Amino acid sequence: PWRDLPTYFGHWNSVYSRYSDWTKAGVFQKIFEAVSDDADMEYAMIDGTVVRVHRHGQGAKGGPEARR
């Protein structure tokens, strides 16, 4: 909800009015087109830290036990 906007952005109604005006004028569409124009994939990579491991592989309860 707009009323929950932090006060350092200004009065919520002023922020909403500007957002509404920019939406009608197509400002966000122009920004999106400018940003997505030419994707530079030189540094795109897949990081293995975001891949979830099954709970047995994390050592959670029910996983493999250490034997003497």
Query: Per-residue pLDDT tens for 36-61?
Result: 877 677 776 666 665 666 666 566 56
What's the pLDDT at 1? Answer: 85
What's the pLDDT at 35? Answer: 80
- The Cα 5–Cα 67 span in angstroms is 56
What's the pLDDT at 21? Answer: 96
In a domain, 40, yes or no: yes
What's the pLDDT at 28? Answer: 93
**Whole domain around residue 40: which residue ranges?**
2-50
Whether 19 shows a pLDDT value over 60: the answer reads: yes
- Count the domains in the chain: 1
In a domain, 38, yes or no: yes
Please tell me the pTM assigned to this model: 0.50
In a domain, 68, yes or no: no
In a domain, 26, yes or no: yes
- The Cα 16–Cα 20 span in angstroms is 6
